[in-house]
Amino acid sequence: MRPPRPANTPPTPPANSDGTRINEQITSPEVRLIGSDGENVGVVSTRVALAQADEAGMDLVEISPGAEPPVCKILDYGKYRYEAQKKRAEAKKKQVIVEIKEIKLRPRIGDHDLQIKIKAMKEFLAEGDKIKVSLRFRGREMMHQEVGVAVITKVQDLLADVAKVESASKLEGMQLIMVLAPK
């Protein structure tokens, strides 16, 4: 439970939806002011900074609230929000999401079927995705693991020009697993 607020302190105005305080929302008695042209004005009282922002027809925006005193800049808040939104969208666009695609094989897979799987793997690698190759053994196939190892090795050799082995083949339970990444 929050302790009661003393009677002589005014309530703190809420920050905007993005957490930035502007104009009257700034509660600090002094701020480090940066003018509308980008020059450092220095430490001034918040009232003086608000008056300068009002005179310029712009907003006083708290840029760095953690500093002592907080850093504020005179600028157009609408334009500031728009630019920040554009930067976030651009960063999101540049973000690459790497997916892991799984290809399942069997120890006794036919040559043609293997070629079709290899073709699909090359397409996935061209798109920048990683591939998890899993070769599942059933029943007595576990007695002849060398057949499965030969299939995994063949896949590795056929994809050597476009993929590198990120995780070498290893036996997990009843299946051999290998992870490939694009070169």
Under a CB-based contact definition with an 8 Å cutoff, are residues 62 and 33 in contact?
A: no
Strands 40-45 and 163-172, sheet pairing? unpaired
If we measure between CA atoms, which residue out of 49, 43, 1 comes closest to residue 21? Answer: 49
Going through the chain in order, the beta strands assigned E by DSSP cover 30-34, 40-45, 59-64, 71-75, 100-105, 130-136, 163-172, 175-182
Under a CB-based contact definition with an 8 Å cutoff, are residues 137 and 148 in contact?
A: yes
Rounded Cα distance, 147 and 109, in Å: 10
Rounded Cα distance, 28 and 15, in Å: 13
| Token duo for residue 163 | 């993929």
Using alpha carbons only, what angle is made at residue 38 by residues 34 and 41, rounded to the nearest 5 degrees?
Answer: 35
Backbone region of residue 173 per phi and psi (left: phi > 0; alpha: psi in -120 to 50; beta: other values): left
Specify the pLDDT at position 111: 93
Task: Report, in angstroms and rounded to the nearest whole number, the Rg of the chain calculated over CA atoms.
Answer: 31
| Stated pTM of the model | 0.51
Local confidence pLDDT in tens for the 183 residues of the chain: 444 545 555 545 556 666 678 888 888 889 898 988 888 888 888 888 898 888 888 888 888 888 888 899 998 888 888 988 999 898 888 877 778 999 999 999 999 999 999 999 999 999 889 999 999 999 898 898 999 999 999 999 999 999 999 989 899 989 999 999 998
The alpha carbon of 111 is separated from its chain's Cα centroid by a whole number of angstroms, namely 41
The alpha carbon of 147 is separated from its chain's Cα centroid by a whole number of angstroms, namely 41
Specify the pLDDT at position 13: 52
Structural domains of the chain sorted by starting position, each given as residue range(s) with its CATH number in brackets: 23-91 (3.10.20.80), 100-182 (3.30.110.10)
